[in-house]
Amino acid sequence: MSAPDPIETARTLVAGGRGILAADESTGTITKRFQAVGIDSTADTRRAYRELLLTAPGVSEFISGAILYDETIRQTASDGTPFPDMIKERGIIPGIKVDTGAKVLAKAPDEKVTEGLDGLRERITEYVEMGARFAKWRAVITIGEGIPSDYCIHTNAHALARYAALCQEGGLAPIVEPEALIDGDHTIEQCFEATERTLRAVFAELAIQRVSLEGMVLKPNMVIAGKQCPKQASVQEVAEQTIRCLRFTVPAAVPGVAFLSGGQTPQQATAHLDATSRMGPHPWQITFSYARALQDAAMRSWKGDRSRVGTAQQAFYARAQLVSLARRGSYTAEMEEAA
Ligand code: 13P
């Protein structure tokens, strides 16, 4: 068997009006989200929930790839099929989160650096054998008084590039995710500045570390005011500033930009993606790699109840369809009522 080709994978992930489902919450994170809607978090409820999402009838029309967590990629669906095989059979490319989380950055107590490089080459080999074809690494950039520091941006960019190079060497297409957080009272201008500095540093490191831009997908935040900022920007302004920032910083050789939803409501994340797509043509495919915005309604309607699997799958299908329409610039707010 020849090694999988990251360029081919990256292209497929962002093609055809489809996007990526992030279902790679760490056990701690999914437990918090389950608890918020009254679901017990056990290995089996986590498995059942992720199976529900990935077997939702027809959803591969909208979803090209799914990012899994280490626990999930080792689990089997209820019919005994290993998760990665089950996904592949449904026309969805299996991906894997390979970072081990954001930790406090030494001597910068308000900032974080993402860990997970130790043993990564060997883990990549194992994941490729299990069927994974792409990976994710999320760097966290906090915006606030005097931050992000150059120190935080630089250390995270360096780690992202080390991860990306190792992925491509091993046959995985890396999703490079530097996320400037929406938490805080910062303005959209501050978000623009932090995102621009971060993306410039990330692409400089990717170049130094010989990462093929054609064999990766960028997963950035949108340029948006902080959640607590009294002055919220319009949908159109978010789209304009986001595209402006990306045009300054993201080489045209990158096949696709797949946004994260980052704590926006499902409706906001869909409307912003739509407005961004409508500003095209763009040098890259514009698509999505959402966790919360895609899963919110499904998780709430499932509630851990076996008899509600079908209802939850319909909710997931409906949101995936809207987000896919938005990715093509064909979404309208009226569609929310019909969904
Ligand atoms: P959200 O869409 O919930 O921000 O999650 C995307 C993701 O994968 C964060 O790493």
Q: What is the pLDDT of residues 236-248, one digit of tens each?
A: 999 999 999 999 9
d(CA 133, CA 6): 8
CA–centroid distance, residue 260 to ligand 1 (Å)? 5
Mean pLDDT by runs of 10 across the 339 residues of the chain is 89 97 98 97 98 98 98 97 98 98 98 98 98 98 98 99 98 98 98 98 98 99 98 98 98 98 98 98 98 98 97 98 98 90
**Which own/partner contact pairs does 2-8 have at CB distance under 8 Å and 24+ positions apart?**
3/128, 3/170, 3/171, 4/128, 4/133, 4/171, 4/172, 5/171, 5/215, 6/134, 6/167, 6/168, 6/171, 6/172, 6/173, 6/174, 6/212, 6/215, 6/216, 7/173, 7/212, 7/214, 7/215
Q: Residue 18: CB within 6 Å of ligand 1?
A: no
CA–centroid distance, residue 130 to ligand 1 (Å)? 23
Tell me the CA distances in angstroms from 53 to 98, 295, 322, one per residue in order.
21, 8, 16
Q: Residue 22: CB within 6 Å of ligand 1?
A: yes
Q: Which ligand 1 atom is nearest residue 295's CA? A: 3
Residue 246 is predicted with a pLDDT of 98
Q: Is 145 a catalytic residue?
A: no
Q: Residue 272: CB within 6 Å of ligand 1?
A: no
- The verdict on whether omega for the bond into residue 84 sits within 30 degrees of 0, i.e. cis, is no
Helices (H), 209-308: 235-249, 266-278, 292-302
CA–centroid distance, residue 25 to ligand 1 (Å)? 8
Q: Residue 262: CB within 6 Å of ligand 1?
A: yes
Going from N- to C-terminal start, the domains of the chain cover 6-338
Residue 338 is predicted with a pLDDT of 75
Q: Which ligand 1 atom is nearest residue 67's CA? A: 8
CA–centroid distance, residue 177 to ligand 1 (Å)? 9
**Which own/partner contact pairs does 121-125 have at CB distance under 8 Å and 24+ positions apart?**
121/166, 121/169, 121/170, 123/98, 124/98, 124/166, 124/167, 124/169, 124/170, 124/171, 124/172, 125/170
Per annotation, catalytic residue among 51, 111, 177, 205: 177
Model confidence pLDDT, tens digit, residues 126-137: 999 999 999 999
* Structure tokens given for 80: 């005994």
Q: Is 219 a catalytic residue?
A: yes
d(CA 94, CA 135): 9
* Structure tokens given for 192: 């623009």
CA–centroid distance, residue 141 to ligand 1 (Å)? 14
- Closest-CA residue, ligand 1 atom 8, reads 22
Q: Select from 270, 273, 289, 296 the residue to mutate for testing ligand 1; criterion: most ligand atoms less than 8 Å from CB.
A: 289
CA 83 to chain centre: 19
Residue 2 is predicted with a pLDDT of 72
CA–centroid distance, residue 311 to ligand 1 (Å)? 23
Buried b (16+ CB within 10 A) or exposed e, 254-283: bbbbbbbbbebebebbbbbbbbbbeeeebe
d(CA 281, CA 228): 33
Q: Which ligand 1 atom is nearest residue 177's CA? A: 10
d(CA 46, CA 75): 10
Q: Residue 102: CB within 6 Å of ligand 1?
A: no
Q: Residue 176: CB within 6 Å of ligand 1?
A: no
- Closest-CA residue, ligand 1 atom 10, reads 138
User: Regarding the domain delimited by 6-338, which CATH topology (the fold level of the hierarchy) does it fall under?
Assistant: TIM Barrel (3.20.20)
Asked if 241 and 200 touch (Cβ cutoff 8 Å), the reply is no
- The verdict on whether omega for the bond into residue 109 sits within 30 degrees of 0, i.e. cis, is no
- Helix, strand, or coil (residue 69): coil
